Each structure stands twice: as structure tokens, then as C-alpha cells.
Structure 1
Amino acid sequence: MRRYDEPVQVQTDQEESPHRFLWHGRVYDIEAVLDRWVIRLPWWRRALAPDGGAWALEPDLLDEHVWRVSAVARGARAAGAGIYDLSRGRQWRLLRVGD
């Protein structure tokens, strides 16, 4: 899998699970959620972040929820689905892309 760390726009369903995302100007429809997990971020990363600080350390800001999904870009159905890791912390981010 190739590593990325880029913000993406994500649409979620009623359970807050992603079902569509926008990356590099393309819309990707999620066909299936393959796995889901939570990453506990080191507190010092949040404390040293430009938008964070010792007074902004809330427990829910230290958790990143990650979804591994199978998705296909609109208009590229013949190319098949790819595997994407989407993370939700303060914002949605694309972490990894694979085949």
C-alpha cells in the first residue's frame, strides 16, 4: 500500500460510516467496509501541534478512527476497486491506497 496523509471530503451514512469520498477532484463510491479500528495518538503529538496545546487535550481528540474500504472512482468501473484507509480525527484524511 502507498502511504498518504491528505485531507479528503467524506460523506457518511446514519451510523457515521463513510460511504463516499472526494480525493483529487474525483468521487469514490465505497463498495464495502473491509475493516475498522481505532488508533490512540501519542498525546505529545497533539500537544505540539500548531492547533493543539496542553489545554486542548481532550480524550476524544487523541483517537483516530480508521476505516479500510473497497472503493471505485466514478466513471472508472472497468478499472476495478481499490483499497483505501480513511481516518477520522479532527478531520477526514486518506492514509493509504492499495490495489
Structure 2
Amino acid sequence: MSRLYGDPIEVWLREGRPARFVWRDRLYLVRAVQDHWVTAREWWRTTDADPGERRFWRVEAVTGRDIGIYELRFDTASGGWLLLRAWD
């Protein structure tokens, strides 16, 4: 079962991939990237401004003894990271 969150997080990268992140004052270490995809933000708009991309990662991460699956999103336009979803 998964839960939706949309919480801001702080992420550290290694070789362009999430290596660790802080969510709700807890440090998570990424053990594996399970999936990665990119979508264009507001691709339907026809303005000259670049709307940017949203880059998604589904990762297996550990904090203490707890292991979970988490979906992270980076928005290139805002430069912000969110934790979108977590699986039990």
C-alpha cells in the first residue's frame, strides 16, 4: 500500500542520482534506484519560456532498521525536491 505526501525534502546526489535525503528530520540512505523518468512541465503551453522538467526517482532507502520504497521528484524550474509517495 502506498501513501501520498508531497512533502519538501533535502536531497544529496552522487553521480546525478539521489544518494540520501532528509524527510521529517530523518536521514534516509538510498540503497538502490528502482526507476527513473522525466516529464515536461506544462508541455501543452506554447509560450517562449521553458517550463522545465520534473525528474522522478523511485528508490529503496533505509533509515535505521527501516527499509522502504520512496518516490522523489525534482522540479527543474523551481529547483525543489518533494517526497511524493511512500510504500509500506
TM-score scaled by structure 1? 0.74
SS of the counterpart of 1:42? Answer: coil
Q: Give the % identical residues.
A: 42
Whichever residue aligns with residue 54 of structure 2, its letter is: E
Equivalent residue for 1:2? Answer: 3
Aligned letter for 1:96? R
Q: Which of the pair is proportionally richer in strand?
A: 2
Ranges in structure 1 where 5+ consecutive residues have no aligned partner: 47-53
Q: What is the number of equivalent residue pairs in this alignment?
A: 83
TM-score w.r.t. length of structure 2: 0.82
Segments ≥4 residues shifted beyond 6 Å: none
Residue number in structure 1 paired with 2:25: 25
1:87 aligns with 2:88: no
Partner residue of 1:72 out of 59, 62, 66 = 62
- Greater C-alpha Rg: 1
Q: CA RMSD in A?
A: 2.0
Unaligned runs of 5+ in 2: none
Is 1:58–2:47 an aligned residue pair? no
Residues 14-48 of structure 1: CA distance to partner in whole angstroms, max 9, x if unpaired?
A: x210000000000000000000001222257x9xx
* CA distance in structure 2 between the aligned counterparts of 1:2 and 1:72, rounded to whole angstroms: 17
